[in-house]
């Protein structure tokens, strides 16, 4: 695949011609509803093998080869040119496909109501070929160790058809929120814990395609830090004996001393030594109730992952990645202004409808734009595109970690799966 950013005056016809592909292929890959309506600054994934590069002033074959990780003599051979000749500015060179790495990929999916909707089933089917795990969110724990059921209709069958396994996500959500009271009730009662583990085993056996029990306990009282660690130790011992992996979701910390109830009960070093792997929630720097900013700026994401690497092995770390952005109404007033979560496809539509160009923050590796709505209200939108996802996959490769975990399939983002396919040999269990 190749990423191309639309410029003013571009058309899908001239883009397709430049890359030796068709309008239909580009339109299909990026789910473009109207090929005659494009947004300046919109990133497209071009569905070709390898990529093309146009020679710039000052380029040499050696420098281009180094940039793309290919010997300049091989680059000359592929493009049928003299390796010692001066390159003409504007010459189009073909760059062969990049080397893929093995990695695990997870995606959460959150059914609403009593059934998995047809649109969510379609999203799961589209993503499943490029997933190791599909994680229905969530089985909610009760105070006596019960496990509230959740809709799964169609998901086990999708998993089986695509050699993907289900990840049983277990949470301390009560009445729509992560509950410290529920966490305390379970983590201070070994009988409740034993009942919970029995229920997890029974549900895994009933469904038949779960390979991992994934604990996402958040907002745990700080004094229960050790109790949560010991619960995970107990869970791992029991569930591994039933053939299940055990994983845990962790808040994005940058030090062992990080303060706050979201962070303190998650002991990176201890939990990393117990469970099979962790999913670190490296997103929500920009969040609904916070000031406008990128949801997962690459600098802070890397800082969290490097701290994690200091506390646990790289093969246990999965990087979290959002599949959504936020639309803030300005001016932002804390406690009064709340952003609306939107998909990347919705973000592009908003930019198109308001006739504004998309900008890109290269430091944060995130796209954004401003617009004024029909009522005269100013807005800013931060979201994800092909460039921001590629930047995170490049970070995954550079750090050598286990994989990437996407939150969540409820937001449409077709480019993400094209980039996963292009960069990763997805591990299948």
CB 110: neighbour CB atoms within 10 A? Answer: 16
* Span 47-62, pLDDT tens digits: 999 999 999 999 999 9
**What average pLDDT does the chain have?**
96
Residue 96 has a pLDDT of 93
Say which residues have a Cβ less than 8 Å from residue 182's Cβ, sequence separation at least 6: 141, 142, 143, 172, 173, 174
Quote the tokens at residue 224. Answer: 């229960």
Q: Cα(394)–Cα(407) distance, rounded to whole angstroms?
A: 19
* Span 398-407, pLDDT tens digits: 999 999 999 9
Average pLDDT rounded to a whole number, residues 69-73 = 92
pTM flag (> 0.85): yes
Of 166, 216, 240, which Cα lies nearest the Cα of 320? 216
Identify the H or E element spanning 387. Answer: helix 386-399
For the CA atoms of 411, 415, 421, 422, the dihedral, rounded to the nearest 10 degrees, stands at -150
Q: Cα(2)–Cα(50) distance, rounded to whole angstroms?
A: 7
Residue 103 has a pLDDT of 98
DSSP output for 74-118: HHHHHHT--TTSPPPTT-EEEEPPPPPEEEEEEEEE---SSS--H
- Please state whether the peptide bond connecting residue 373 to the residue before it is cis, i.e. omega within 30 degrees of 0: no
For the CA atoms of 31, 33, 39, 43, the dihedral, rounded to the nearest 10 degrees, stands at 0
Residue 98 pLDDT level (bands cut at 50, 70, 90): confident
The strand ranges marked E within 147-226 are 147-148, 165-171, 173-174, 177-178, 210-216
Q: Cα(239)–Cα(200) distance, rounded to whole angstroms?
A: 8
Residue 53 has a pLDDT of 93
* Span 121-172, pLDDT tens digits: 999 999 999 999 999 999 999 999 999 999 999 999 999 999 999 999 999 9
Domains of the chain (ranges; CATH) run 2-95 (3.10.350.10), 101-323+392-426 (3.20.20.80)
Residue 429 pLDDT level (bands cut at 50, 70, 90): confident
The angle at the Cα of 233, spanning 227 to 235, to the nearest 5 degrees, equals 100
For residue 157, indicate whether it is catalytic.
no
Residue 85 has a pLDDT of 86
Rg, C-alpha atoms of the chain: 23
Position 208 pLDDT exceeds 90: yes
Say which residues have a Cβ less than 8 Å from residue 277's Cβ, sequence separation at least 6: 104, 245, 247, 315, 316, 317, 318, 402
Identify the H or E element spanning 181. Answer: helix 180-187
Average pLDDT rounded to a whole number, residues 6-19 = 94
As a residue count, the chain comes to: 429
104, 180, 203, 218: which one is catalytic? Answer: 218
Question: Which residues, in sequence order, are bridge partners of residue 403?
Answer: 104, 318
Of 385, 381, 383, which Cα lies nearest the Cα of 372? 381
Average pLDDT rounded to a whole number, residues 248-276 = 96
CA 86, distance to chain mean position in Å, is 42
């Amino acid at each position: 695949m190749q990423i191309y950013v639309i410029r003013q005056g571009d058309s899908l016809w001239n883009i397709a011609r430049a890359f030796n592909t068709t309008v239909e292929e580009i339109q299909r890959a990026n789910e473009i509803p109207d090929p005659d309506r494009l947004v300046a600054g919109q990133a497209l994934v071009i569905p070709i093998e390898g990529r093309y590069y146009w020679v710039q002033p000052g380029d040499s074959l050696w420098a281009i080869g180094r940039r793309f990780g290919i010997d300049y003599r091989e680059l000359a051979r592929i493009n049928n040119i003299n390796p010692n000749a001066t390159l003409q500015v504007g010459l189009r060179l073909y760059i062969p496909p990049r080397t893929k790495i093995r990695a695990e990929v997870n995606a959460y999916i959150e059914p609403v109501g009593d059934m998995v909707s047809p649109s969510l089933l379609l999203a799961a089917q589209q993503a499943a070929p490029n997933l190791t795990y599909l994680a229905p969110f969530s089985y909610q724990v009760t105070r006596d160790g019960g496990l509230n059921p959740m809709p799964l209709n169609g998901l086990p069958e999708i998993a089986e058809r695509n050699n993907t396994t289900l990840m049983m996500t277990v949470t301390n959500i009560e009445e729509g929120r992560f509950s410290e009271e529920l966490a305390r009730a379970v983590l201070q009662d070994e009988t409740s814990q034993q009942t919970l583990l029995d229920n997890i085993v029974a549900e895994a056996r009933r469904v038949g395609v779960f390979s991992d029990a994934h604990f996402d306990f958040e907002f745990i009282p700080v004094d229960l830090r050790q109790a949560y660690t010991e619960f995970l130790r107990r869970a791992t011992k029991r569930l591994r004996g039933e053939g299940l992996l055990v994983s845990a979701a962790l808040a994005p910390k940058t030090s062992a001393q990080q303060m706050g109830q979201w962070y303190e009960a998650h002991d990176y070093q201890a939990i990393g030594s117990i469970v099979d792997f962790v999913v670190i929630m490296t997103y929500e720097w920009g969040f609904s109730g916070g000031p406008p900013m990128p949801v997962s700026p690459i600098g802070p994401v890397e800082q969290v992952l490097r701290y994690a690497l200091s506390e646990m092995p790289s093969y246990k770390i999965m990087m979290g990645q959002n599949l959504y952005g936020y639309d803030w109404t300005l001016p932002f007033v804390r406690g009064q202004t709340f952003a609306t979560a939107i998909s990347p496809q919705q973000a592009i539509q908003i930019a198109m409808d308001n006739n504004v160009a998309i900008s890109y923050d290269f430091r944060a590796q995130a796209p954004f734009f401003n617009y004024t709505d029909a009522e005269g209200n100013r807005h800013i939108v931060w979201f994800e595109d092909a460039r921001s996802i590629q930047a995170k996959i490049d970070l995954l490769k550079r750090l050598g970690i286990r994989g990437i975990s996407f939150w969540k399939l409820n937001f449409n983002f077709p480019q993400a799966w094209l980039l996963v396919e292009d960069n990763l040999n997805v591990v299948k269990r």
